[in-house]
Amino acid sequence: MLDREGYRPNVGIIITNQRNEVFWGKRVQEHSWQFPQGGIKPGESPEAAMYRELAEEVGLLPHHVKILGRTRDWLRYDVPGNWVRRQWRGAYRGQKQIWYLLRLTGRESDVHLRASSQPEFDAWRWHDYWAPIDEVIEFKKDVYTNALRELSRFLHNLETLEQFNRRHAALPEEHTPR
């Protein structure tokens, strides 16, 4: 399902712990990491899609999380042409996403990456809130920056992106977390 401009409706999910660290998932059999995300089915609300994707990709149920906030509007990214399936070329431009910020209220042991028959992730870790901006694939970088900036207002005692960048610039290279 694409909109008139060629974007597929999608949800992005940022799960935080009590230390304001974020869930960072390693894609199955790849060396790339990302936040959980997934398409919105026809007739499905963004919130319903978020809960469905959360269960499918991370194994978490509504009682394991609390919604802290969501983006006000759609955030879009274009997918490079060489990444687009042949049958979609010409019509498909990329994703438009509503992003949700969640707090894990359950236990870390509630995370089950094999909750579906086609897992998205084969590993995960907690990560500094702002670190994914520098680690996500290039074409998603602006969306990640915008989502994290907009949703940061829902978190208390979180350093700004600028503070994070200054702190990491001051670290010796061998001590920089990756």
Q: What is the pLDDT of residue 101?
A: 98
Residue written as tokens 């409706």?
A: 9
**Residue 89 or residue 167, greater confidence:** 167
Percent of the chain surpassing pLDDT 90: 81
Q: What is the pTM of this model?
A: 0.91
CA angle 175, 177, 178 (to 5 degrees): 130
Q: What is the pLDDT of residue 75?
A: 98
Helices 161-170, 141-151: axis angle to 10 degrees equals 120
**What separation, in Å, do the N-terminal and C-terminal C-alpha atoms of the chain show?**
36
C-alpha 62/C-alpha 55 separation (Å) is 8
Q: How confident is the model at residue 8 (pLDDT cuts 50, 70, 90)?
A: very high
Q: Would residue 178 count as lying in a domain?
A: no
Q: What is the pLDDT of residue 85?
A: 64
As for how many domains the chain has, the answer is 1
Find the range with the poorest average confidence among 63-67, 87-91, 101-105.
Answer: 87-91
pLDDT tens, 24-82?
999 999 999 999 999 999 999 999 999 999 999 999 999 999 999 999 999 999 988 76
Q: What is the pLDDT of residue 126?
A: 98
Q: Would residue 177 count as lying in a domain?
A: no
Q: Would residue 86 count as lying in a domain?
A: yes
Q: Would residue 144 count as lying in a domain?
A: yes
Tokens at 146, concatenated = 């915008």
Q: What is the pLDDT of residue 1?
A: 84
Q: What is the pLDDT of residue 81?
A: 74
Q: What is the pLDDT of residue 83?
A: 65
Indicate the residue type of 138.
E
Q: Would residue 36 count as lying in a domain?
A: yes
Q: Would residue 176 count as lying in a domain?
A: no
SS3 (DSSP) at 39: strand
**Domain range spanning residue 53?**
7-170
pLDDT tens, 144-166?
999 999 999 999 999 999 999 99
Q: Would residue 43 count as lying in a domain?
A: yes
Buried b / exposed e along 47-57 (16+ C-beta atoms within 10 A): eebbbbbbbbb
Whichever domain contains 88, its CATH number is 3.90.79.10
**Residue 168 or residue 130, greater confidence:** 130
Using the predicted structure, report yes or no on whether residue 84 has a pLDDT greater than 60: yes
Q: Would residue 2 count as lying in a domain?
A: no
Tokens at 24, concatenated = 């960072």
Question: How many CA atoms within 13 Å lie on the side-chain side of 92?
Answer: 16
